Amino acid sequence: MEIQLRGARAYAYTAGHAFDPARPGVMFVHGAGLDHSSWGLQSRHLGYHGVNVLAVDLPAHGRSGGAPLPDVGAMADWALAFAAAAGLERLAVVGHSMGSLVALECAARAPARISALAMLAVAFPMKVSAPFLDAARDDPPAAWAMHTIWGHSQGVALRGDPNPGMSMQGESLARLRRLAPGVLHADLSACDRYDTGQEAAARVQCPALFLMGAEDVMTPVRGMRALAARFADVRTKVLPGVGHALMAEAPDEVLDALVEFLSR
């Protein structure tokens, strides 16, 4: 689906299915420097099983135009506006890393519209190291390498990709190399500056899921515990042997967890 939103091209993958107002809806929000293709298996499965799917490309990512948005709140406002323009007034929202903060803000800003909230690889605060931020601004190839190495568990290079003929780290680098200059730095800066997670969590009215990788070094499991404690209706699940890139390293386990959660 491609629409004009706030004067720029805005894109979301819909699993090739037309929207049906009688069906439930789910929006997927990608992480820093990534795009809708991060959700390949999960978005396709739900789209082929009776769900209206919007796997969005945030502005300046993937197939969406415009400039990168300056902060998490602006991203949440944009995501809610996209859903409304697509005809989804009530939906579940699923986010990964930076996208999980965006999903959290969506649920906090529009509690009547969000039926369920799933956050993958989330931490609060989501601080970003100075060398990573500096590299994203001044030396993009070095930042891409940091993103790719830290974004996967140590065993990835040995056990390979669960999808035959593919490379998890190669896919990550390919996405990052497609970015326009300054986009990754803008994303990482937005994560680093986000400071209202506790207040946002207190305003959420829907069930929440925290899905984490036990070997995640970018958003370690300990980083979500204080945030999870603020939710009235929360479930947590930790996938063993998995790093930050949950959807790539454990696609079936992530799908199973989301299907189980959203079916409730």
Residues 65-89: tens digit of each pLDDT: 999 999 999 999 999 999 999 999 8
Query: pTM here?
Result: 0.95
- For the chain, the structural domain boundaries read 2-263
Q: What's the CA gap between 142 and 138, in Å, rounded?
A: 9
Residues 145-175: tens digit of each pLDDT: 999 999 888 776 556 556 555 577 778 888 8
* Percent share of the chain, pLDDT over 90: 86
Residues 110-148: tens digit of each pLDDT: 999 999 999 999 999 999 999 999 999 999 999 999 999
CATH code for residues 2-263? 3.40.50.1820
Residues 24-55: tens digit of each pLDDT: 999 999 999 999 999 999 999 999 999 999 99
